[in-house]
Structure 1
Amino acid sequence: MIRLDENEISFPDPELYDGHEGIIAFGGDLSVERIWFAYQLGIFPWFNPGEEILWWCPDPRFVLFPEEIKVSKSMKKILDRNVFTFTENTNFREVIKNCRDISRKGQSGTWLSDELMESFIKLHDYGLAKSLEVWQNEELVGGFYGLQIGNVFCGESMFSKVSNASKAGFIHFAQTYQNKLELIDCQSHTDHLESLGARMVPKREFLKILYKNNEHR
């Protein structure tokens, strides 16, 4: 692994460097500039608060092509009944706070540090990060957030306070953007997203799509 210089925003080329188990580098900082640069290269931070910052670009990459979204019969009924309503970018701060605070099976804590949260909130203020909110009876019950790089949406984290909320939001987002996004980056495997059609692709295939119209490539 390569240690990053806090005073220089740079990363090893993920096309040429595989790292260790998907870890491209460690160290550096969580400045808005570094995070934005990293995502344009297909690299994302994932680490435990209080520990060394780790930067990842796993191979293979877990992604969803929007046209491949799977909608079960039960979810179709839920969507047809308008059990939930959806908005974008109406409450980014609350979405990311809920992603940090929600209790998750098999996890005792969160990887979302206050510093990382504030950087993503600034990225949202700059128009680079977006959120999807899921509402039920005017209450925020689910959602997710991420960064959009050209025609790729890099999903970061999601939460759900009631059954099927995040799943409905993800389906709604994928269907809405089928003709606008080529790819939704899910980063690492989850059974939840696999059931919706996400699958593994080689890192090079993911990077080729990401680098289209990318000013840094």
Structure 2
Amino acid sequence: MTPALTPEIVLQAYMRGIFPMADHRDAADVFWVEPRMRGILPLDGLHVSRSLARRIRARPFAVSYDRDFAGVVAGCADRAETWINAPLVEIYSALHAGGFAHSIELWEGDALVGGVFGIAIGGAFFGESMFSRRTDASKIALVYLVDRLREGGFRLFDTQFITPHLATLGAVEIPREDYRAQLAEAIARRARFDPAPPEALPAQVMQRRTQTS
């Protein structure tokens, strides 16, 4: 058995480029991962297709920040195969209570239809998982997350791995040593994930993206 996880252990691991995963939802413990090639999404390199931009401007969903963190984690774990087990859910909840873990939620009325969550340390944000119950919901959540990170002064958006889904949005892979250098610089900086920012209108989000991309 892995020794009991604590928020302090997990935060120290992230600061060294290591993160925990479970084999499956019913696993009793976790294992530690440090990929040889690390996925990141450059905050000035977000790719938004014309069709996705039209969807964002149409405002199909209401957007909130840290309103239902537990719901987002549950949504991310609600799939046939997941690496999120009970000990990780408990750790994420504790980190959220301590101000280190954050979520973005997308709503259709009172229904939570998409979201993304992750952990913030200094100027680094470690994206954990996202989910979608409507077309493009996870992509839209990611666009709003990148906007929040840029507005808050973050320097690094770690996606851990790269998937075809993330690649279409601009995620890339970098070698472990390059990642460690970026991580050290990012966590030494001050940044803020504001859970109650002024309402980010779609036009403002898209304008801020195009100003530096």
- Report the counterpart of residue 38 of structure 1 in structure 2: 13
> Does 1:186 pair with 2:163?
no
The 5 Å alignment of 1:47-126 reads 47-49=22-24, 50=27, 53-101=30-78, 103=79, 108-126=80-98
- Report the counterpart of residue 136 of structure 1 in structure 2: 108
Evaluate the alpha carbon distance shift between residue 196 and residue 214 of structure 1 in structure 2; reply closer, same or farther with a 3 A threshold.
closer
- In terms of fraction of residues, the more helix-rich structure is 2
- Listed one character per residue, the Cα deviations across residues 60-84 of structure 1 (whole Å, up to 9, x for unaligned) are 1010011100000000001111112
Structure 2 gaps of 5+ residues are 189-213
Taking the aligned partners of 1:37 and 1:31, their CA distance within structure 2 comes to: 10
Evaluate the alpha carbon distance shift between residue 146 and residue 213 of structure 1 in structure 2; reply closer, same or farther with a 3 A threshold.
closer
Query: What amino acid maps onto 1:58 in structure 2?
Result: P
Cα shift at 1:197: 0.2
Query: What amino acid maps onto 2:4 in structure 1?
Result: D
Moved over 3 A (4+): none
* Local SS of the residue matching 1:157: strand
State whether residues 18 and 33 of structure 2, in contact with CA within 8 Å, keep that contact through their aligned partners in structure 1.
yes
- Report the counterpart of residue 208 of structure 1 in structure 2: 181
Cα shift at 1:52: 5.5
> Does 1:127 pair with 2:127?
no
Cα shift at 1:178: 2.4
Taking the aligned partners of 2:154 and 2:8, their CA distance within structure 1 comes to: 24
Evaluate the alpha carbon distance shift between residue 214 and residue 169 of structure 1 in structure 2; reply closer, same or farther with a 3 A threshold.
closer
- Report the counterpart of residue 11 of structure 1 in structure 2: none
Aligned residues: 185
Cα shift at 1:193: 0.5
Taking the aligned partners of 2:147 and 2:70, their CA distance within structure 1 comes to: 24
Q: Using the aligned pairs only, state the percent identity.
A: 32
State whether residues 124 and 186 of structure 2, in contact with CA within 8 Å, keep that contact through their aligned partners in structure 1.
no
- Listed one character per residue, the Cα deviations across residues 81-112 of structure 1 (whole Å, up to 9, x for unaligned) are 111221111111111111111x3xxxx43211
Cα shift at 1:51: 6.2
Query: What amino acid maps onto 1:37 in structure 2?
Result: Q
Structure 1 gaps of 5+ residues are 1-5, 7-26
